[in-house]
Amino acid sequence: MVSVGEELLAARRVVVKVGSSSVSGENASQIPTLVSSLARLHAAGAEVILVSSGAIATGVPFLRLEERPEDLATQQAAAAVGQNILVNRYQRALGSHEIIAGQVLLTAHDMENPTHRGNARRAIERLLQLGILPIINENDTVATHEIRFGDNDRLAALVARLVEADRLVLLSDVDALYTAPPTMVGATRIAHVPYGDALEGIEIGEAQSGWGTGGAATKVEAARLAADAGVAVLLTETRLLAPCLKELTTGRVLMPCPHNCRKVD
């Protein structure tokens, strides 16, 4: 039986999404380890796209603020500062693997407008052809509440559909999908979600970190969005991606259809 890690290493094109809480604050130290996993996928022949949250969370300390701002203007200012710092941190880590990053900032309007969407796809495709690793984030500096994706899980799923990826990896600070918020007594891990499963009776929680806007609910919706286009989805904790690729066993996945149809089984 082929393992999750083996499937990832054999993939043609992989979109990896990482949440704010995994790459900002004290967890910014996880970036080199995350990048090493991306580099391993790259070395195995996969075209890798990283969708990274964290611009606002990264920028907040540099604005001498103690918590995420609530007003849009200050969020935009934090994003303007944080995006620059975040991408530089990624590039420093990627440099040791001789990989160059390319920054791509998108808004919801870009994905809804056919012309903008086509331009985004061509740009990403060309970056991949040139051996560049695209790092995609929502353009928080110009996006407004009315036109935002709401979370980067949805953005990652839309990007996976846009570039016809065959794998989407959703990374966060939780290692799997559970029957209830994992801090609740009796919550159990769900090893596999078949395509079309309504997850009835499952209590899905929201983000708890105070920085991200997602949580299990947005990841489930993103997985469904990607699966509808035939993209297999893996959900795991950021620090477990490396063991997943080494041990070839970690993670929770929506497996692809064995008959190469555009759904998951």
Residue ranges for the known binding site for ATP are 17, 172-173
Which residues are part of a known binding site for substrate? Answer: 53, 140, 152
Which residues are part of a known binding site? Answer: 17, 53, 140, 152, 172-173
Contact 15, 168 (CB under 8 A): yes
Q: How many CB atoms lie within 10 A of CB 97?
A: 15
Which structure tokens are listed for 60? Answer: 């907040």
DSSP secondary structure, 32-48, as one string: HHHHHHHHHHHHTT-EE
Q: How many CB atoms lie within 10 A of CB 226?
A: 27
Q: How far apart are CA 81 and CA 7, in angstroms?
A: 37
Give the gyration radius of the chain's Cα atoms: 17
Contact 163, 155 (CB under 8 A): no
Strand, coil or helix: 49: strand
